[in-house]
Structure 1
Amino acid sequence: MSEEIRLVGIGKTYAGGNAATAALSEIDLTFRRKEFTAIIGASGSGKSTLLGLIGTLDRPTSGRVYYGDTDTSRLKADRLADFRFERVGLVFQHFHLLPALTAVENVLSPFFGRRRGDARAKAERLLDRLGLGAKAHALPSQLSGGEQQRVAIARALVNDPDWLLADEPTGNLDSRNAERFFDLLQELKTETGCGIILVTHDLQLARWADRLVEIKDGRLVGDRGLAGDDAC
């Protein structure tokens, strides 16, 4: 299992019109398992782009993303997809549940085209653990926003990932449910030992994390742990 993710000299540039736009420049960071990191920054700062690179959903223009000793830039697309399935769970702001599938079927969706084994039993256990055992066969339209979010979390955990990544997951929740979500993440970190990396614009909620990483205009400008010492 990968104990660390290392970003070395990460840059991301997008071509547009007559000029290229640098979304990220020279980012060096290390993330450790059993650590809950919140990445903060204003809208357009590059934090979601950074999360996409960490999760191998996109490739950097420059630099390398390492999971342990594995340089993900050297993996071909099909192997990278398998690698991501094996190592990473993803939770999105809008959940991206499939409307025609039940809660348990949505949890199982990462296994589409793959051997399931006992995945269904595990999916049902996860939903029960998250308080949704009675709604395993409900459609997303029959679930509240908070319930849909918990289905998305179960989906992200069904493959036993080393890392749970979440992009603005509380953006559609009220403050009470957002706090519950952060509580749940802390419990999951303790119970599973996974590393958690979360992007948020809400500084008050981000302070529930063990570590705050701040991105501004595509650059790393802050890295603080529980002691509050600035590492930059």
Structure 2
Amino acid sequence: MIEPRSRRRGIPLRAVTPNAVTALALCFGLTGVRFAITEEWDKAVGAIVIAGVLDGLDGRIARLLKAQSRFGAELDSLSDVIAFGVSPAVILFLWSLHYVPKYGWVIALAHAVCCALRLARFNATLDAGDNPRKAAGYFNGVPAPAGAALALLPLILWLATDQWPILQLTYVVAPWTIIVALLMISDLPTYGWGSFRVRRGVRLPLLLLVGLAGASLLTAPWATLSGLVLIYVVAIPLAIRSYARVKRQRVSLNFPS
């Protein structure tokens, strides 16, 4: 006799799938540290990039399978702290910041701690009833995966320029790491996927650009990745300006901002 579904023990496999993707992202993040220890810098950055891709997929998979849970949200935050906070900090220390051991390690810690603080703030607002920025598709500060990419930008440029020595100098990497750490815990609005609206006439050219970018990542990965991260840097002030316009529109319509 087949047991009724309502009385079956355990949880459905679809509920485990997004959590498995999150755990995989965590493993790739830590694997980046393993490659950094052996000075395989290209593989170290590649592992963080893959972790970022997986982090972007797990939430969408959860929504697609209707498998969202508080456990998944907490696991995602813990994974983000390790993959995009701790791992990039260790990679940067082993690559450049260790040349100034005392202060270099403190700066590396700043990135990891600011990433943890950002995610703690995010978790604290999960149950907030009114979040105008989230409703408009914007983030508060730079999200953790983008923060990892920004922090690793000197290393990515170093790989793209055949190891241009100036990019590895601690006096270049250290201030940049501090700036990125502060951006993660800042209150600046930054773009999220929900903040973009694509016009019908632009849809096909946009798909073409995405396809070309994907092909470029395979043929010239570091130059392409450098370009994408630099575009994100330019997008930060644009996001501030864009949200200010959205905020004015909400005020004119008597919505909370």
Q: TM-score, normalising length from structure 1?
A: 0.26
Q: TM-score, normalising length from structure 2?
A: 0.24
Larger radius of gyration: 2
* Higher share in strand: 1
Greater relative contact order, per chain length (Cα 8 Å cut-off, separation 6+) = 1
* Higher share in helix: 2
